[in-house]
């Protein structure tokens, strides 16, 4: 339905990341998630 992708997009935007989608008929789709680089020390 695409609802899951909308949720993923919203979460990625909230965390200053992004989503890239590439699709070709008869070949499928590729989803790439981009996460920001952490600048602080892990807890």
1-43 confidence digits (pLDDT tens): 678 989 999 999 999 999 999 999 999 999 999 999 988 887 7
Q: Please give the pLDDT value at position 22.
A: 96
Query: What's the pTM?
Result: 0.69
Other Cβ atoms less than 10 A from the Cβ of 23: the count is: 9
Q: Please give the pLDDT value at position 21.
A: 93
Q: Please give the pLDDT value at position 16.
A: 93
Rounded to whole angstroms, what are the CA distances from 43 to 18, 37, 38, 40? Answer: 24, 15, 12, 9
């Amino acid at each position: 339905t695409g609802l899951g992708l909308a949720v993923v997009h919203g979460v990625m935007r909230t965390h200053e990341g992004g989503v890239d989608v590439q699709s070709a008929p008869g070949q499928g789709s590729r989803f790439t998630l981009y996460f920001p680089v952490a600048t602080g020390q892990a807890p």
